[in-house]
Amino acid sequence: AIALLNSYSGIAGMTTGFVLQNNLLIVAGSLVGASGIILTQIMCKAMNRSLANVLFGGLQAQAAAAAGKDEGYTKVKSTSAEEVAAVLDAATSVIFVPGYGMAVAQAQHKVRELATLLQKKGCNVRYAIHPVAGRMPGHMNILLAEADVPYEQLYELDRINDDFKNTAVVIVRGANDGCNPAATRDPASPIAGMPVLAVWDARTVIVVKRSLSAGYSGIKNELFQMDNSLMLFADAKKALEDVIAELKAL
């Protein structure tokens, strides 16, 4: 929706250019309008949804999310920073899955600090990037680059999805719909067919989230109550700080 509005601003600028007979406005507005439309199309494809569903279905989803909040989960296993540190200390491979929660908490530097600590212990560290993680394609890449995360450690969904089953620990920070197994297991789900990261295939999944609230789709995420999932309820930055402190103490 944001990308579409950006394209409209470009079209408005282009139209103004025609009215004022200003070639610069016409060219700049055309570029902004075209790029916004292309970006909108890319994001819709990544979510396997039509533009109408994104615009109008999203509004209904937000209302459902506000109404349902944390309801519907029966066997969630919560964990602590101390327990997470112990799991990571024994891990030989870790994949970080960043989401909007990491962006809100500005936790990318703590992610990098934790990754560096794990690498010093001989752990293989990588980052799985969903096509629409955050608010637009490339959002997570920019934040991680800001924290000096090596580009070669960033993997797109298609490159890393088959490797989750060979991974000891996956740490999901703020991501929700992009890691929801309903997309592949429930044909009636609003996100059915949407490309998702198969994090549940890993030996252990640690989800760092402030609550069990739904994502953009407004539906439950069964990942939260899978047998191999642990929930660390906290702000992403504070949670990572605590895990780092516990890991250094081991």
Q: How far apart are CA 152 and CA 188, in angstroms?
A: 37
What stretches in the chain show pLDDT beneath 70?
Answer: 46-48, 54, 57-72, 216
Report whether 206 contacts 79 (CB < 8 A). yes
Q: What residue type is 112 in one-letter code?
A: R
How does pLDDT run across 48-67, given as a tens digit for each residue?
A: 677 777 677 654 444 444 44
Six-digit token string for 101: 């929660």
Q: Tell if the pTM clears 0.85, that is, is over it.
A: no
In this prediction, residue 57 carries a pLDDT of 60
What is residue 66's predicted lDDT score, i.e. its pLDDT?
A: 46
The active-site residue, picked from 70, 89, 162, 177, is 177
Kindly tell me the burial class for residue 63, based on how many C-beta atoms sit within 10 Å of its own C-beta (0-12, 13-18, 19 or more).
exposed
Which pLDDT score is estimated for 91?
A: 95
pLDDT at 63: 46
Question: What pLDDT digit, counting tens, does each position of 75-94 carry?
Answer: 889 999 999 999 999 999 99
- The predicted structure's pLDDT at residue 72: 65
Phi, psi of 27 (to 5 degrees): -65, -50
CA distances from residue 18 to 24, 55, 142 in whole angstroms, order as listed: 10, 29, 35
Tokens of 181: 């197994």
Active site residue 177: yes
pLDDT value for 184: 87
